Amino acid sequence: ADRSDALRTLLPDDVAGRLDVEAAAKRCDGFVVGDLCRVVRRALLQTTVRGDNVLTDEHLLAAVDASRPVGQRSVQRVDNGDAGRNWDEVGGMTEVRLVLTQVLLWPLQYPTLFSSCPIRVSRGVLLHGPSGCGKTLIAGVIAAQSKLNFIAVKGPELLSKYIGASEQSVRETFER
């Protein structure tokens, strides 16, 4: 609701009433007000560049999709909207599939059940293992199924020769 209110405020008055601002706001997960300002500017610019006289939902959604929140700009972007990804691509790993489904998908599918439970729901998953074992593939499949964001981080991105710098990199990654 806050992002949709911010978008309505940022959009010109004659436009905000006829656009599906709610749909655009749902795609703005992680965006702050400055990011939303850039989205509106980009949408208005696209309208002008295309020679259209009126800002449409298509312009606004395209601007949202082309934008990244400031907190994720230094992160490798992985497309979680790839509908073609499914568990058929992953051979074996039935136990991993079950655990990830229970930890990540069930709280999204059954929010009322999990809100009444006395346990805290997991906020993320850290996959680790040797290279080539399918960590990124599994994360891509679960992200595509759940529409969740995920951050793919490679080991060398976190390592540093300075004391405490590696730990700081891990902290910053999880803060995103």
Per the CB < 8 A criterion, the answer to whether 77 and 93 are in contact is: no
* Domain 2-72, classified CATH 3.90.550.10, yes or no: no
For the chain, domain boundaries: 2-72, 87-175
| Residue ranges of the chain with per-residue pLDDT less than 50 | 80-81
DSSP 32-73: -HHHHHHHHHHHHHHHHHTT-SS--HHHHHHHHHH---GGGT
DSSP 150-163: -----HHHH--SST
Q: What is the structure's pLDDT at 7?
A: 86
> Phi, psi at residue 31, to the nearest 5°?
-80, 140
DSSP 11-23: S-HHHHTTS-HHH
Model pLDDT for residues 98-112, shown as the tens digit of each residue: 888 888 888 888 888
Pick the CATH number of 87-175 from 3.30.499.10, 3.40.1280.10, 3.20.20.80, 3.40.50.300: 3.40.50.300
Q: Which residues of 7-21 are buried (b: 16+ CB within 10 A; e: fewer)?
A: bbebbeeebbeebeb
Q: What is the structure's pLDDT at 122?
A: 76
Model pLDDT for residues 33-42, shown as the tens digit of each residue: 888 899 889 9
pTM value is: 0.49
